[in-house]
Amino acid sequence: MLTTAPADLQTAAAMINKGQVVAFPTETVYGLGADATNESAVKKVFAAKHRPADNPLIVTVASVEMVQRFVEVIPAQAQKLIDAFWPGSLTIIMEYIPGKLSPIVTGGLPTVAFRLPASPVTREVIALADTPIVGPSANTSGKPSPTTAQHVWHDMHGKIAGIIDDGATRVGVESTVIDMTTEIPTILRPGAVTQEELEAVIGTVNSEHRKVGADETPKAPGMKYRHYAPDVPVYMVTDDNWQRAIIWAQQQLEPVGIMATDEVIKANHLAGMDYVWSLGDGVSAANAKLFAGLRYFDDRNEITTILVQRFADEGIGLAYNNRLGKAASGQFWTATDFM
């Protein structure tokens, strides 16, 4: 495992230049990095993750100048978003110059998703390597995304060349993805940058919440395949159902994992109890703690079910509910179904 010392960053960059795969930190989740211009290196990422071949990859860059190597021109609206949100948790889909990137990166589409992360460590590594890197989350496909280097080690030990450890991530859910190639810019994946924030910069923005068909190539990650899910069933719980859900959980022969805010934990006298994971003091904290909690319970063989608090569908709650909804396959806990 590598640290953020200058020598280690030089080593990580050298690994990337040699076609190896290195996990890297961002403010959202840890990513799996390989030279985006090296097809054989990119194939190693797909192999390490067991990722479907038609799922395109985000291209992570160190600067806007690096994006300009691959596009004829950055659209004016996209430039406004770059000025407002980069470096940061926003991924922007644009058309790229044909032949500049392998179809394995783009899923064969004429578009590519670019991101310039807030992490200075990762920007430094990419700048040292002088090449953009692909950047899917550094987990086995379908499993909860990694928010610590230890999570990456759990999934990727022995499969990749190294992991850059920069501590726990700050945001905790993947970047917002916006498609700038549509008539009206369209959010394909909600994240820390909200629709309201985007519209304050460029005007009307659509939001697309659909699952891509079996024969369709998604423009962005998370639109087609099962994501973020532990091996046991996950159920979303709304605020009005917690009291009954906890009574049900306590009646089960096998332990049930409970993930909720400190307010819910205190109101239902769960503080200090085993099988309870705090999501903190609200939706911002919950975003940062969601994947870690799902991983915590996924590693406890005695847990048979996980109940997780859902928030209102507004602001950054949209990103949280999007990830939780996928982990739960859209399933809610209700007294009618369980009691």
Annotated binding site for ATP: 51, 55, 111, 137, 145, 189, 228
User: Quick one: which of 172, 206, 210 has its CA closest to 191?
Assistant: 172
Secondary structure of residue 58 in the 3-state scheme? strand
Distance CA 64, CA 83 (A): 10
DSSP string for 193-219: S-HHHHHHHHS--EE---PPPTTS--S
Secondary structure of residue 328 in the 3-state scheme? coil
CA trace torsion 22, 225, 81, 85 (10° rounding):
-50
Residue positions counted in the chain: 339
Distance CA 164, CA 313 (A): 34
In this structure, are residues 59 and 126 in contact, taking their beta carbons and an 8 Å threshold? no
Q: Which residues are annotated as a binding site?
A: 28, 51, 55, 111, 115, 137, 145, 175, 189, 228
In this structure, are residues 137 and 244 in contact, taking their beta carbons and an 8 Å threshold? no
Q: Which residues are annotated as a binding site for L-threonine?
A: 28, 115, 175
Please name the residue that has the structure tokens 């959010």: 187
Q: Residue 135: which H helix or E strand, with range?
A: none
Q: Residue 248: which H helix or E strand, with range?
A: helix 242-251
DSSP string for 167-188: -S-SS-SPPEEEESSSSS-EEE
DSSP one-letter code for 268: T
Secondary structure of residue 3 in the 3-state scheme? coil
